[in-house]
């Protein structure tokens, strides 16, 4: 934890903040700032002394200069849908909310680029560019709520990463405000750029610790004309996992391969109040294929179907029209919400391994669950080797829960690392995993990373208490 002592946000500072952004955009009252005291991590909270809802890079710059002068911590925030506590002001100070900077500034069809402000909800970018026959593939399951600024800061992924990659693969330009208040423009509408160090990729995934992103230029691709979704139920959990590796080994790259265990399906059923197809199966694979012709997509579909059946799939469901496809995906997108309803206290991990090791990872997690007598439900982006591991408290007594969670956490990290993986694939280190960063990075890399942070932010005012132990 940073041992620096920080200043408080007193009335004089609040008055200065009001001068910068306007009185209505500075929030200080208890009830009003409460929604900014947490993200989607269960049980983690930090009370902001002030929330400032900025409208421009210049305002961000002025707020950071003031915070720098007064040594006040500043926590950037998009929608607060993060799963590692990144937007939680664990040391108080100012929460810098980017939610009002939510304009899509330009869809440039000649250059296949879209320029957006950081507070745009990700799904709104999808809708806007798809109306023009263009495609922005990264699709975190939270896409209807999270912001593109949060996606950039977290290096967010999503189901379509199997074929199309993650947020970092689409960011070509950034405007960002450094902790000193300096505004920089990195990159542009360029598909190639090797001018000096790659600052863009350094800022992507930096979890709001190096700079505040105020404008983003994203690369677009043509929208595929045909999409089909396939649902395969498996009687044995590991058969589904083995099918994933085999599909990839057959040189077919589906758009998405999502894995869901029976307990997660049943939880979604209870949440939605209606039956999920094949709910007796031990696991489901939800596979999306896309392409520009029906023939090409159908050819892949035949191979994927045959492979799943070879691996013990009991049946298959094909969804070609949008409403049916949306219904299949609704199950997947509702898993986190429904597991929280089942067990309001739970713990979520986001480990990633090389794709071919997915069966070993899922099998190892089952062993951990048995060994410690806690219910663990895995689901997620199996085609990327990235699994969301949910440890449910259920009726485990509080003292046993407090004891067992760190043990399970470390065991799952060790398993992922032993398989050539790492401790987080897309949710980030944030506040919740920083103790464990040295498990994944050696001392030399820890020093390099700390050194980078200190070059950007020697006084550590930007999102302190995150990433580093
Ligand atoms: C139901 C659910 C499903 C999810 N599915 C996925 C998924 O499939 N893939 C995935 O990757 N994640 C997923 N997430 C996690 C989360 O949605 C992503 O991390 C998302 O990128 C967070 O965006 P946000 O706007 O909510 O960011 P916030 O939570 O507000 O902030 C996240 C981090 O970004 C920083 N930040 C935010 N905006 C800026 C900015 N403009 N400049 C600098 N730093 C900034 C914050 O300081 C913080 O460190 C899911 C979350 C939930 C609740």
Cα radius of gyration (the chain): 22
Residues in the chain: 469
Higher pLDDT, 36 or 383: 36
Q: 380 C-alpha to center of ligand 1: Å?
A: 16
CA separation (Å) from 451 to 21, 261, 444?
Answer: 33, 42, 11
Distance CA 13, CA 50 (A): 10
- For a mutational test of ligand 1's pocket, the pick from 61, 84, 146, 199, i.e. the residue with the most ligand atoms closer than 8 A to its C-beta, is 146
Backbone angles phi, psi at 238, to 5 degrees: -75, -25
With contact defined as beta carbons under 8 Å apart, do 212 and 462 qualify?
Answer: yes
- For a mutational test of ligand 1's pocket, the pick from 150, 177, 340, 429, i.e. the residue with the most ligand atoms closer than 8 A to its C-beta, is 150
Q: Is 71 left (phi over 0), alpha (psi -120 to 50) or beta?
A: left
Task: Please state the rounded mean pLDDT for residues 31-42.
Answer: 95
- CA geometry: angle 297, 232, 370, nearest 5 deg: 140
Q: What is the pLDDT of residue 2?
A: 53
Residue 252 pLDDT more than 80? Answer: yes
Residue 3 pLDDT more than 90? Answer: no
* CB of 339 closer than 6 angstroms to any ligand 1 atom: no
Q: What is the pLDDT of residue 237?
A: 84
Q: Is 401 left (phi over 0), alpha (psi -120 to 50) or beta?
A: alpha
Going 298 to 303 to 306 to 312, the CA torsion angle's sign is: negative
With contact defined as beta carbons under 8 Å apart, do 87 and 94 qualify?
Answer: no
CA separation (Å) from 27 to 18, 70, 150, 456?
Answer: 9, 19, 21, 28
Distance CA 450, CA 23 (A): 37
Residue 1 — pLDDT band, cuts 50, 70, 90? low
Task: Please state the rounded mean pLDDT for residues 212-222.
Answer: 98
* CB of 79 closer than 6 angstroms to any ligand 1 atom: yes
DSSP letters spanning 261-284: EHHHHHHHHHHHTSPPTTTTSSEE
Residue 305 pLDDT more than 70? Answer: yes
Task: Please state the rounded mean pLDDT for residues 174-196.
Answer: 97
**233: helix, strand or coil:** strand
Pairing of strands 94-97, 50-53: parallel
With contact defined as beta carbons under 8 Å apart, do 241 and 358 qualify?
Answer: yes
pLDDT in tens, 364-390: 999 999 999 999 999 989 999 999 999
Reading the block at residue 457, the tokens are 């932010």
Pairing of strands 212-219, 283-291: unpaired
Distance CA 49, CA 118 (A): 23
Neighbours of 199 (CB within 10 A): 17
Residue 267 pLDDT more than 60? Answer: yes
Reading the block at residue 180, the tokens are 């000193």
To 10 degrees, what angle do helices 358-372 and 237-249 make?
A: 160
* CB of 364 closer than 6 angstroms to any ligand 1 atom: no
Atom index in ligand 1 nearest the CA of residue 380 equals: 8
Q: 384 C-alpha to center of ligand 1: Å?
A: 19
With contact defined as beta carbons under 8 Å apart, do 174 and 186 qualify?
Answer: yes
* CB of 146 closer than 6 angstroms to any ligand 1 atom: yes
Q: 83 C-alpha to center of ligand 1: Å?
A: 7
pLDDT in tens, 78-103: 999 999 999 999 999 999 999 999 99
Nearest to 153 by CA among 469, 462, 459: 462
Atom index in ligand 1 nearest the CA of residue 159 equals: 8
- For a mutational test of ligand 1's pocket, the pick from 38, 100, 140, i.e. the residue with the most ligand atoms closer than 8 A to its C-beta, is 140
Q: 44 C-alpha to center of ligand 1: Å?
A: 15
Pairing of strands 346-349, 386-392: antiparallel
- For a mutational test of ligand 1's pocket, the pick from 46, 57, 79, 83, i.e. the residue with the most ligand atoms closer than 8 A to its C-beta, is 83
Q: H helices within 316-428, ranges in order? A: 322-333, 335-342, 358-372, 398-418
* CB of 208 closer than 6 angstroms to any ligand 1 atom: yes
Atom index in ligand 1 nearest the CA of residue 203 equals: 43
Q: 455 C-alpha to center of ligand 1: Å?
A: 24
* CB of 149 closer than 6 angstroms to any ligand 1 atom: yes
Atom index in ligand 1 nearest the CA of residue 156 equals: 11
* CB of 385 closer than 6 angstroms to any ligand 1 atom: no
In the numeric block, the tokens 């200069």 are attached to 65
Tell me what the pLDDT averaged over the chain comes to.
95
Q: 151 C-alpha to center of ligand 1: Å?
A: 5
């Amino acid at each position: 934890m940073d041992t620096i002592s920080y200043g408080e946000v007193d009335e004089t500072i609040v008055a200065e903040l009001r001068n910068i952004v306007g009185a209505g955009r500075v929030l200080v009252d208890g009830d009003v700032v409460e929604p900014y005291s947490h993200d989607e991590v269960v049980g983690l909270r930090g009370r902001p002394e002030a929330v400032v809802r900025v409208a421009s890079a210049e305002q961000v710059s002025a707020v950071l200069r003031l915070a720098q002068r007064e040594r006040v911590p500043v926590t950037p925030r998009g929608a607060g849908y993060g799963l590692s506590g990144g937007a939680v002001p664990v040391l108080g100070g100012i929460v810098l909310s980017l939610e009002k900077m939510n304009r899509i500034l330009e869809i440039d069809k000649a250059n296949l680029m879209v320029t957006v402000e950081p507070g745009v909800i990700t799904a709104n970018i999808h809708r806007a560019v798809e109306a023009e026959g263009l495609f922005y593939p990264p699709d975190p399951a939270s896409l209807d709520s999270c912001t593109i600024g949060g996606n950039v800061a977290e290096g967010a992924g999503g189901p379509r990463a199997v074929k199309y990659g993650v947020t970092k693969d689409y960011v070509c330009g950034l405007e960002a405000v450094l902790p000193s208040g300096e505004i920089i423009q990195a990159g542009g509408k360029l598909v190639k750029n090797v001018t000096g160090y790659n600052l863009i990729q350094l800022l992507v995934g930096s979890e709001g610790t190096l700079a505040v992103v105020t404008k983003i230029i994203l690369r677009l691709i043509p929208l595929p004309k045909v999409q089909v979704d396939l649902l395969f139920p498996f009687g044995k959990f590991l058969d589904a996992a083995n099918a994933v590796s085999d599909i990839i080994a057959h040189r077919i790259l589906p758009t998405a391969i999502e894995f869901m265990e029976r307990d997660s399906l049943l939880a979604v059923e209870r949440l939605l109040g209606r039956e999920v197809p094949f709910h007796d199966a031990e696991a489901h694979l939800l596979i999306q294929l896309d392409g520009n012709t029906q023939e090409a997509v159908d050819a892949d579909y035949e191979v994927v179907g045959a492979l799943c059946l070879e691996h013990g799939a009991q049946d298959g469901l094909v969804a070609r029209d949008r409403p049916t496809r949306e219904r299949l995906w609704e199950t997947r997108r509702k898993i986190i919400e429904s597991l929280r309803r089942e067990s309001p206290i739970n713990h979520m991990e986001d480990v990633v391994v090389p794709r071919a090791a997915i069966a070993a990872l899922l099998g190892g997690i089952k062993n951990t669950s048995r060994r410690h007598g806690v219910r663990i439900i895995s689901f997620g982006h199996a085609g990327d080797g990235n699994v969301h591991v949910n440890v449910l408290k259920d009726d485990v007594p509080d003292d046993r829960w407090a004891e067992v969670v760190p043990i399970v956490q470390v065991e799952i990290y060790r398993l992922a690392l032993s398989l050539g993986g790492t401790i987080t694939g897309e949710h980030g280190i944030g506040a919740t995993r920083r103790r464990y960063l040295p498990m994944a990075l050696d001392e030399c890399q820890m020093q390099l990373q700390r050194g980078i942070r200190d070059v950007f932010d020697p006084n550590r005012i930007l999102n302190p208490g995150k990433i580093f132990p």
